[in-house]
Structure 1
Amino acid sequence: MTTGTARAQGAAVERLVPGDPRLSFDGIAGWDRGSGARLPLRMPVDRLATAMSANFSRLARTTAGVRFAVRTDAAALELEVDLDPGGSPLDIRVDGILAHRWTGGPGRHRVAFPLPVTDGTPADVEVWLPHLAVTRIGAVTLRGHRQLLAAERTGRRLLVHGSSLTHCMYAAGPSETWPALVAAEHGWRLRNLGFAGEAYLDPVVARAIRDTPADLIALELGINAYIRGAFTARSWGPAVCGFLDTVRDGHPDTPVVVLTPLSSPDRERAVNSTGLTLEGARSLTAEAVRVLQRLGDRHLHLLDGLTVAPVAEAGELYADGLHPTAEGEHVLADRIGTELASIPPGPEAVPASEGDTPG
């Protein structure tokens, strides 16, 4: 909905609010429809309480992978945002090139960004919201434009889920996480369901993935369960199978890739509180995938975390022995993206207009 239009020197000033179809949001399931600024939600929140974790409920509201785009020849863009917490960057890309990276503190902000001068040809202006913050959007104002259109959303729909390694704690910005880089490289549409420290095969997450239209699903599993001692050698494999079975209920033919834990040198043979090593958790994750493959799942694929991030390269890839550096995100994107791109598409999925355009 357009709330105001003015003309200055033959060009417009328009203030758009969330819900305006020209603000082409992607990576979201819907909106928190509270009063004032609105929160884009990357998964439904009505059943978050079933995870019985306040931290998970908070992380599920962060805006990892959430972005909006317009096609315009505007001279400037102004945002009204509310951040909780602060310190996580916001990116603006123009025709795929990073034009601005801004970091704000907690609370409300109104910030303006000049856009590159054009010859009057509209450009795709995409705003990536902070991936580690709960980000509410008040309004988006475009200035000095003659054209303002919704950006087209095409390409294969990539859904990723995992731990902080998928939430991407040390990425330089939200458009430079490995999932965002993979999606950009291949022209795919991203939905990021990474939850730092909270990837425990929760049924509410499995159902969210089941119910989300996707053409390719990548699941990074195992590191949180190992570090926190959440499962035993007896319970982990069956839990992985059950999680994948739930996903399959909604995606019977969609390619699903399970990424086993990346290397972590100090943890490889360290025994956790339930008697598992990281090597053991990785082996059990792989075996769960092989069990389902033997039972007939022809669209389930295994990606060994040690091939993505070998032990020998951990010192170069990681900031702290576990989480990739900003540069490491690009290495992971190259390696994971190559593997994902090699997987043939499944049968035609639900068209985008029928399942993933949130209101």
Structure 2
Amino acid sequence: MHTEPSWITTPVTASLLRGALDVEYTERGVLPHRLPARARAQCADPQLAMAEAQPSGVRLAFRTRATAVELDTLPTKRLYVGAPPRPDGVYELLVDGRPAGRGTVGGGNTLTIDMTAGTTAWAPGEAGTLRFTGLPGRPKDVEIWLPHNETTELVALRTDAPVGPVPDRGRKVWLHHGSSISHGSDAAGPTSTWPALAASLGGVELVNLGLGGGALLDPFTARAMRDTPADLISVKVGINLVNTDLMRLRAFGPAVHGFLDTVREGHPTAPLLVISPLLCPIHEDTPGPSGPDFSDLPDGRLRFRAMGDPAERAAGKLTLRVIRDELAALVQLRAADDPNLYHLDGRELYGEADYAELPLPDELHPDAATHRRVGTRFADQVFGRGAFADGGAPPSGGSRGTAPTTD
């Protein structure tokens, strides 16, 4: 005879969350944020607001003997006019660090986006319930990774045994900032975005400030990184500066210097890795902005194209090749006074041969298989034998200011 568990409700608080820099207490529950309130107040960009509230890398973490766990959440679903419905965001359960289940939550609020008209409309909805059962009854570490691409308010946590905080396992904290590719773009789930996969393989705790459309060298992001405890830090910059056509070459170098200077104010000696863009053929030699191609939208496919003119490089417009050259020179210059600064060419993670095998489906964002490739390569090159190996000690035969290339 089946009987319902005797549920214990535990308030969701910041102490049970990892990967969030702030929490907002709403009428319904708790909304994790990946940028602090002060940073959010300094930018009215709706794209950034949406991206930082999508909890990429954010997870509930607790220790318990519970065999059943329920989590009530209020997701916000995005609907694109003229396109098929997007799949529900994926939640992933880890028990003692190992995959133990996946699930989704239907319903929720809806954000309807009309990309041709440039308008949005929001409608409220109801919370839903995620449930995992059959967990081992022994004491264990439980993590529930929230959907990396779906804003999620946490309403209630119920278990059939008490929960407590996870003890400090002594793992280093890796703080990473990047674009939508670091955010997770089209990864299969929250633990298989390339930063989450690399963190798992590297044995570190991830704080992911990958912000879709938001890797723009914003000073408030640099201050958030400055003020966030971390042992290992990486900054992946370039593609958003091109596809938004945000700045010219004259502003780029000083902006990178200023961003790194701010990060260094809070982390003067931590290993700091600067990563240039992955290969993106449409913007290698053609400036931005990027523009959407809606021709395949009814089939659920959106493509992007470069709207700039290669001749505009002479006037200081940025391309990915220009950015890579500038970043390499800038890091080499700074490394003379910063022995814990490193550089990695993003094409070592995804280059021409990779594009031939695993092309970018929309010409900007990688698919799930590419996330796996980038994550495993990063773990091997950076955690295994590069900038973050042994907490940032120089690899054998390597040097400061550069990360080793693939064989």
TM-score, normalised to structure 1, is: 0.86
Please say if residues 314 and 321 of structure 1, whose CA atoms lie closer than 8 Å, have aligned partners that are also in contact.
no
1:350: which partner in 2?
Answer: none
1:102 aligned onto 2:103: yes
Please say if residues 253 and 346 of structure 1, whose CA atoms lie closer than 8 Å, have aligned partners that are also in contact.
no
CA–CA separation in structure 1 for the residues paired with 2:129 and 2:271: 41
2:243: which partner in 1?
Answer: 227
CA–CA separation in structure 2 for the residues paired with 1:263 and 1:81: 37
CA–CA separation in structure 2 for the residues paired with 1:238 and 1:291: 13
Opposite residue 147 of structure 2, the aligned amino acid is P
- Number of corresponding residues: 333
CA–CA separation in structure 2 for the residues paired with 1:219 and 1:284: 15
Counterpart selection for 2:344 from 291, 303, 308? 303
Query: How far apart are residue 328 of structure 1 and its match?
Result: 1.2
CA–CA separation in structure 1 for the residues paired with 2:26 and 2:238: 35
Please say if residues 222 and 260 of structure 1, whose CA atoms lie closer than 8 Å, have aligned partners that are also in contact.
yes
Opposite residue 345 of structure 1, the aligned amino acid is G
Please say if residues 90 and 129 of structure 1, whose CA atoms lie closer than 8 Å, have aligned partners that are also in contact.
yes
Query: How far apart are residue 197 of structure 1 and its match?
Result: 1.1
TM-score, normalised to structure 2, is: 0.76
CA–CA separation in structure 2 for the residues paired with 1:20 and 1:291: 40
1:320: which partner in 2?
Answer: 362
Counterpart selection for 1:149 from 164, 175, 186? 164
Give 3-state SS (helix, strand or coil) of 1:249's partner. Answer: helix
Query: How far apart are residue 109 of structure 1 and its match?
Result: 3.0
Counterpart selection for 1:18 from 2, 12, 20? 12
CA–CA separation in structure 2 for the residues paired with 1:20 and 1:161: 21
CA–CA separation in structure 1 for the residues paired with 2:153 and 2:20: 13
Give 3-state SS (helix, strand or coil) of 1:254's partner. Answer: coil
Larger mean Cα displacement after TM superposition, 108-117 or 122-131: 108-117
User: Structure 1: which 5+ residue stretches go unaligned?
Assistant: 1-7, 348-359
Matches within 5 A, 1:1-359: 12-19=6-13, 24-85=16-77, 87-107=88-108, 108-118=126-136, 120-143=137-160, 145=161, 148-154=163-169, 155-272=171-288, 273=308, 275=313, 276-294=318-336, 296-317=337-358, 318-341=360-383, 342=386, 343=388, 344-345=390-391
Opposite residue 367 of structure 2, the aligned amino acid is T
Q: What's the Cα RMSD here?
A: 2.2
Opposite residue 131 of structure 2, the aligned amino acid is F
Identical aligned residues as a percent: 35
Please say if residues 159 and 217 of structure 1, whose CA atoms lie closer than 8 Å, have aligned partners that are also in contact.
yes
Give 3-state SS (helix, strand or coil) of 2:42's partner. Answer: helix
Please say if residues 226 and 277 of structure 1, whose CA atoms lie closer than 8 Å, have aligned partners that are also in contact.
yes
Going from structure 1 to structure 2, the CA distance change for 1:67 and 1:153 (only over 3 Å counts) comes to farther
Query: How far apart are residue 49 of structure 1 and its match?
Result: 3.2
User: Structure 2: which 5+ residue stretches go unaligned?
Assistant: 79-87, 109-125, 289-307, 394-407
Query: How far apart are residue 117 of structure 1 and its match?
Result: 4.5
Query: How far apart are residue 74 of structure 1 and its match?
Result: 1.9
Please say if residues 68 and 135 of structure 2, whose CA atoms lie closer than 8 Å, have aligned partners that are also in contact.
no
- Cα deviations across residues 22-64 of structure 1 (Å, max 9, x unaligned)? xx32112231123331112222023323234122122222211
